[in-house]
Amino acid sequence: MAYALRTLRKTCGVFMRFTVVTETYPPEVNGVALTVHALECGLRGRGHQVGVVRPRQVVQTVESLANVGDDQVLVRGAPLPRYPGLRFGMPAGRTLTKLWRRQRPDAIYVATEGPLGWSALRTARQLGIPATTGFHTRFDEYMQRYGAGLLTPIAFAWMRRFHNSAGATLVPTDELADFLRNRGFRNVQLLRRAVDTQLFDPRRRDLELRRSWGLADDALAVTYMGRIAAEKNLELAVQAFRKLQQRQPDARFVWIGDGPSRAGIAAANPDFIFTGVQRGETLARHFASTDLFVFPSTTETFGNVTLEAMASAIPTVAFDYGAAKEHLLDGEHGATVPFGDHAAFVDAVLRVAEDANARRAMGEKARAAVSLLSPDAVSQRFDEILTGLAAQRGAA
Give me the pLDDT at residue 357, please: 95
**Highest mean pLDDT, choosing among 48-62, 82-96, 355-369:** 355-369
Is 160 in the same domain as 175? yes
Instruction: Report the chain's mean pLDDT, rounded to a whole number.
Output: 90
Integer angstrom CA distances of residue 56 from 38, 76, 94: 20, 6, 17
Give me the pLDDT at residue 339, please: 95
Enclosing domain of residue 344 = 202-370
Is 226 in the same domain as 287? yes
What does the pLDDT average to over 214-226? 94
Give me the pLDDT at residue 392, please: 83
Is 360 in the same domain as 383? no
Give me the pLDDT at residue 393, please: 72
Q: How far apart are CA 56 and CA 41, in angstroms?
A: 20
Is 363 in the same domain as 379? no
Give me the pLDDT at residue 207, please: 95
Q: How far apart are CA 229 and CA 56, in angstroms?
A: 23
**What CATH number is attached to the domain comprising 251?**
3.40.50.2000
Could you report the per-residue pLDDT of 26-68, keeping only the tens digit for each? 988 888 999 999 999 999 999 999 999 999 986 554 444 445 5
Q: What total number of domains does the chain contain?
A: 2
Q: How far apart are CA 99 and CA 81, in angstroms?
A: 29
Is 158 in the same domain as 244? no
* 363 compared with 63, residue with greater pLDDT: 363
* 313 compared with 8, residue with greater pLDDT: 313
Is 359 in the same domain as 379? no
Is 36 in the same domain as 102? yes
Is 163 in the same domain as 62? yes
Is 342 in the same domain as 289? yes
Is 93 in the same domain as 180? yes
51 near 20, Cβ under 8 Å?
A: yes
Give me the pLDDT at residue 62, please: 43
Q: How far apart are CA 356 and CA 120, in angstroms?
A: 51
- Percent share of the chain, pLDDT over 70: 88
67 near 92, Cβ under 8 Å?
A: no
Q: How far apart are CA 209 and CA 188, in angstroms?
A: 44
Is 246 in the same domain as 303? yes
Could you report the per-residue pLDDT of 153-170, keeping only the tens digit for each? 888 898 999 999 999 999
Give me the pLDDT at residue 29, please: 80
256 near 305, Cβ under 8 Å?
A: no
Is 240 in the same domain as 135? no
